């Protein structure tokens, strides 16, 4: 009796169908399209992430170069190393500006400046903590 009623009805609500939408989606005919679409999305996301990482690293290297130039100008004018990056933005001598703002890397973290440097005893070390924001993780940018 139930089959006869179901056969007479021509309109089915989505929850009355015999197979669920996932079952229809994963039929042999459509399975290849679903898998290739998922792989395509995964490739696009990974390429976007890699490009973003390269852009942030480039921005960090540019900020490091800018800080090194500012420190060189500061040393030339003051005959000493700056005590911190704040001295490069607000130097003790009025009218001199070596950096327009506090330097940050591509991830928004402050740069570490050591003058004279440990890795470069004759110059300056300017280091970014990298994506992790932690100097003890091996993803620093110099």
The 10 Å CB-count burial string (b at 16+, else e) for 58-74 is ebbeebbebbeebbebb
Higher pLDDT residue, 29 or 76? Answer: 76
- pLDDT value of residue 111: 85
- Dihedral-angle region of residue 133 (phi above 0 means left; psi in -120 to 50 means alpha; beta otherwise): left
Give the model confidence (pLDDT) of 104-114 as tens digits.
Answer: 888 888 888 88
Does residue 5 carry a pLDDT above 70?
A: no
- pLDDT value of residue 1: 53
Tell me how crowded residue 107 is: count the other CB atoms within 10 A of its CB: 17
For the entire predicted model, the pTM comes to 0.65
Domain extents in the chain: 23-127
- pLDDT value of residue 26: 65
- pLDDT value of residue 96: 75
Q: Are 70 and 129 in contact (CB under 8 A)?
A: no
CATH of 23-127, one of 3.40.190, 3.30.700, 3.40.50, 3.30.460: 3.30.700
């Amino acid at each position: 009796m139930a089959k006869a009623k179901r056969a007479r009805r021509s309109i089915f609500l989505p929850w009355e169908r015999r197979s669920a939408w996932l079952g229809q989606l994963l039929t042999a005919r459509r399975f290849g399209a679903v898998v290739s679409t998922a792989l395509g999305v995964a490739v696009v996301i990974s390429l976007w992430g890699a490009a973003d990482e390269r852009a942030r690293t480039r921005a960090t290297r540019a900020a490091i170069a800018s800080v090194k130039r500012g420190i060189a100008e500061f040393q030339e004018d003051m005959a000493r190393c700056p005590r911190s990056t704040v001295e490069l933005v607000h130097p003790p001598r009025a009218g001199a500006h070596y950096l327009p703002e506090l330097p940050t890397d591509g991830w928004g973290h402050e740069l570490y400046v050591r003058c004279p440097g440990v890795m470069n005893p004759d110059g300056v070390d300017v280091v970014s903590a990298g994506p992790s924001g932690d100097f003890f993780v091996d993803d620093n940018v110099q």
